């Protein structure tokens, strides 16, 4: 089985329409997760982010700053 870096390299070499179709299929596959599996995945991601923050490799961004940036992007 190819590793993530190999798959990503191949995916990025696709033309725009194929990359968009691939992204759509990948996102749709996440919607198919069961509730228990989705909770497990999010818990793992939360733990990973906490470890990144504690190690000094990530910073905190206030939710209001994120909301303001999103609002500007969608204007």
Residue 59 and residue 33: Cα distance in Å, rounded?
A: 29
pTM (2 d.p.): 0.51
Residue 60 and residue 63: Cα distance in Å, rounded?
A: 9
Per-residue confidence (pLDDT) for residue 69, from 0 to 100: 93
| Average of per-residue pLDDT across 61-75 | 92
Per-residue confidence (pLDDT) for residue 33, from 0 to 100: 83
Question: Can you read off the two tokens belonging to residue 69?
Answer: 């940036």
Please list, residue by residue across 61-72, b when 16 or more beta carbons sit within 10 angstroms of its beta carbon and e when fewer do.
eeeeeeeeeeee
Residue 73 and residue 67: Cα distance in Å, rounded?
A: 10
| Average of per-residue pLDDT across 29-34 | 85
């Amino acid at each position: 089985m190819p590793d993530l870096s190999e798959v990503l390299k191949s995916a990025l070499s696709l033309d725009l329409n194929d990359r968009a179709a691939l992204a759509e299929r990948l996102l749709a596959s996440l919607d198919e997760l069961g509730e228990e599996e989705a909770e497990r995945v999010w818990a793992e991601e939360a733990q990973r982010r906490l470890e990144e923050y504690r190690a000094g490799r990530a910073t905190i961004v206030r939710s209001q700053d994120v909301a303001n940036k999103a609002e500007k992007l969608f204007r």
